[in-house]
Chain A
């Protein structure tokens, strides 16, 4: 399917998980399609990067669940910052590990998982809904009961996939993309290249086949689909474009990003 077709399966008000990490292997072609759609009022669950920044700048996020938002080489995400300083979005600010265990809980159909992280910190103050749980064993330690981060849909971008939804991460870090798919009702995987199933084991070891087709709803071929974030080993981050993103007023950048000559390979068919 195209990015536009994938996004046509989404609805306003959904809880949407976005894969990658910071400014690394973000499903930017899918984010672009989302920005072109009228979908809004989203709860976005993300190890935040420019995906969060752009959706926040466009006013599509009602609530954000994240431990951070960063552009990595530019530490502070400008549009996330601006949205926060305007008080424009609700935030569930949690620790990186709490976030991971929230996805694990959802993937395992558990209501929560105990985590040590969060105790004593202001994560508890700013999330008054968080509860603790005490170990029933001799240690008696008290943990945060990290609630499952169940997703209506997940958007991730990987290096290769077959048409059935088997996804392959060829870079050094798979991040948490398989978990996002497992935690979601529906998952849309974009990839640099769709290959025949038999090709998958030729380019990488079996351990690179992290995303399984039973967790995937649709596959989108989107070469350059993580641009301007990195997509190792296919390409690194486009630092010049990222800098332009960080320093250009959003309306102006959005015009170029969504409608300009560099609007990406998914432009046709949307």
Chain B
């Protein structure tokens, strides 16, 4: 069984929650949600998950607790959470934007608003998921800093951006100045492809590993238990491989 691109993305997202312990996994977006559930079913069984609303639930939907927004915000500030957010723009130091494109005073395109990105990034580990890696998303400078990057987080004691996952690879900030580094390529992707789709200078190690393959058990869980309708392929189509 060969894993598809979307399945490598699921694995790359799931790995964000490896070793996280008994904390809330807050995946935003489809593939991170599949990844979080996969992590909980395999290597991170103590993770807490929500139903996307006000309940803490098991992978099968069994309710185990109550977490309305007001308590969710307290959980964020407690730090016992790892969120994976989306990003309309992200820059070299991990500054993220979901608010608006263009001049904030009169935006070219109004998006969501800052939402909880400021509170998330100052309080608990925050990773990002980008389903379509492009020059529009990976920019030199974001138009509005919602999620705080490493160059603006001086002294923020709980700030951490463990990883950025895109349809092309996995990225982290394990460089001396905490600028973005290519951590792994999804099988079938080349370094050139990533460079061409990134609007700033990435650190590229001499040897870039490939994102690991799912185990047969993981592949079965993804395909038969968690996402039998293959919704993941709609978020990251297989054509992305070429």
Instruction: Give every chain A residue within 8 A of B70 (Cβ-Cβ).
Output: 100, 174-176
Total residues of chain B contacting the partner, CB 8 A = 44
**Nearest residue in B to A48 (C-beta to C-beta)?**
B113
Contact across chains for B146 and A122 when beta carbons are under 8 A apart: yes
Contact across chains for B110 and A120 when beta carbons are under 8 A apart: no
Known contacts: A120-B152, A123-B118. The answer to whether A84 contacts B100 by CB under 8 A is yes
Assembly CA distance A84 to B105 (angstroms): 8
Assembly CA distance A126 to B113 (angstroms): 12
Q: Does A164 contact B (CB under 8 A)?
A: no
Q: Does B234 contact A (CB under 8 A)?
A: no
Determine how close the nearest CB of chain A comes to the CB of B223; give it in whole angstroms: 27
A173's partner among B54, B76, B112 (CB-CB below 8 A) is: B54
Instruction: Give every chain B residue within 8 A of A173 (Cβ-Cβ).
Output: 53-54, 68-69
Assembly CA distance A174 to B148 (angstroms): 29
Instruction: Give every chain B residue within 8 A of A95 (Cβ-Cβ).
Output: 114-119
Known contacts: A85-B109, A117-B122. The answer to whether A97 contacts B145 by CB under 8 A is no
**Nearest residue in B to A141 (C-beta to C-beta)?**
B157
Task: Tell me whether chain B's interface is mostly helix, strand or loop, or mixed.
Answer: loop
Q: Does B221 contact A (CB under 8 A)?
A: no
Contact residues of B between 93 and 145, Cβ < 8 Å to A: 99-100, 104-119, 121-123, 144-145
Determine how close the nearest CB of chain B comes to the CB of A17; give it in whole angstroms: 15
Interface range on chain A (Cβ under 8 Å from partner): 35 or more
Q: Does B55 contact A (CB under 8 A)?
A: yes
Q: Does B208 contact A (CB under 8 A)?
A: no
Q: Does B203 contact A (CB under 8 A)?
A: no
Q: Does A172 contact B (CB under 8 A)?
A: yes
Q: Could you say which of A21, A97, A123, A176 has the most chain B C-beta atoms within 10 Å of its C-beta?
A: A97
Contact across chains for A176 and B69 when beta carbons are under 8 A apart: yes
Instruction: Give every chain B residue within 8 A of A141 (Cβ-Cβ).
Output: 157
Indicate with 1 or 0, residue by residue over B149-187, a CB within 8 angstroms of chain A CB atoms: 000111111110000000000000000000000000000
Q: Does B77 contact A (CB under 8 A)?
A: yes
Assembly CA distance A175 to B69 (angstroms): 6
Instruction: Give every chain A residue within 8 A of B147 (Cβ-Cβ).
Output: 121
Instruction: Give every chain B residue within 8 A of A84 (Cβ-Cβ).
Output: 100, 106-107, 110
Instruction: Give every chain B residue within 8 A of A97 (Cβ-Cβ).
Output: 73, 76-77, 116, 118-119
Q: Could you say which of A69, A100, A173, A174 has the most chain B C-beta atoms within 10 Å of its C-beta?
A: A173
Contact residues of B between 66 and 100, Cβ < 8 Å to A: 66, 68-70, 73, 76-77, 99-100
Q: Could you say which of A70, A125, A141, A172 has the most chain B C-beta atoms within 10 Å of its C-beta?
A: A172
Contact across chains for B118 and A118 when beta carbons are under 8 A apart: yes
Q: Could you say which of B114, B115, B123 has the most chain A C-beta atoms within 10 Å of its C-beta?
A: B114
Known: A75-B112, A174-B70. 5 other contacts (CB 8 A): A85-B106, A87-B105, A115-B119, A120-B148, A172-B55
User: Nearest 5 CB-CB pairs, A to B?
Assistant: A68-B113, A117-B119, A120-B148, A87-B106, A172-B54
20 contacts between A and B (CB under 8 A): A67-B113, A84-B100, A84-B107, A85-B108, A85-B109, A85-B110, A93-B104, A95-B118, A95-B119, A116-B156, A118-B118, A119-B118, A119-B148, A119-B156, A120-B121, A120-B154, A121-B147, A123-B114, A126-B104, A142-B155
